[in-house]
Amino acid sequence: MSAIREKIAVYPGSFDPITNGHLDLLERGLKIFDRIIIALAENPAKFPFFTLEERLDLVRTSLASHPELSRIQIETFDGLLVNYVERTGAVAILRGLRALSDFEYEFQMALMNRKLSRRPETLYLMTGANWIYISSRIIKEVVSKGGCVNGLVPDVVEAKLKEKLQSFRQRQVALPQLGPDDREDSAA
């Protein structure tokens, strides 16, 4: 009798920081897969606002009381995504699509990943309507200019964003570049 294999998906991203759009996508992914691995990439080319450790910590804290925590794994990876995915035994890469503007970058990435490995399929879910306009980048921009992002990110993220901005200001350190407003930022 063959063992029933768990269906695992890797949900990769920069998560700089995690937003409610990301969390919504995770919820929906959990309805399809037995286990989801949230895989955080360092992504230095995007000048992350938070260090990888801080981002990891924010994801962990945001999900600490999740009722399905046993089906969620939170990790970091470096190198090629497909190599990481193969090591995990996942069958799919999960990504969110907000708008047509996301499509080109995602299409390119999915096809390149497919060229590199035939094993994982990339599965896209449409971002929930409540989160269609948010991205990690826009959240950082709004907070950096004193705007309110309550209800768009977990409370812990909002607090950490404010804390970090204050520490930059106190030390009179320039804010990290927010990067281009393109899809290299999966809000969901």
- The residue nearest ligand PNS at its CB is 13
Nearest to 6 by CA among 39, 31, 35, 38: 35
> How far apart are CB 22 and ligand PNS at their closest, in Å?
9
Contacts of 137 (CB under 8 A, 6+ apart): 178, 179, 181, 185
> How far apart are CB 38 and ligand PNS at their closest, in Å?
11
d(CA 11, CA 164): 26
Helix, strand, coil tally for the chain in percent (to 5)? 45, 20, 40
Positions that interact with ligand PNS (CB under 6 A): 12-14, 41, 43, 80-81, 109, 112-113, 184-186
* Catalytic residue numbers, as ranges: 22, 46, 98, 136
d(CA 184, CA 117): 21
Residue with tokens 């999915």, as numbered in its chain: 110
β pairing state of 8-13 and 72-77 = unpaired
> How far apart are CB 146 and ligand PNS at their closest, in Å?
25
Smaller CB separation from ligand PNS, 70 or 85: 85
> How far apart are CB 161 and ligand PNS at their closest, in Å?
17
CB 136 within 8 A of CB 185: yes
89 burial via Cβ count (<10 Å: 0-12, 13-18, 19+): middle
Smaller CB separation from ligand PNS, 12 or 154: 12
Smaller CB separation from ligand PNS, 32 or 80: 80
CB 164 within 8 A of CB 50: yes
> How far apart are CB 109 and ligand PNS at their closest, in Å?
4
Smaller CB separation from ligand PNS, 1 or 100: 100
Smaller CB separation from ligand PNS, 72 or 97: 97
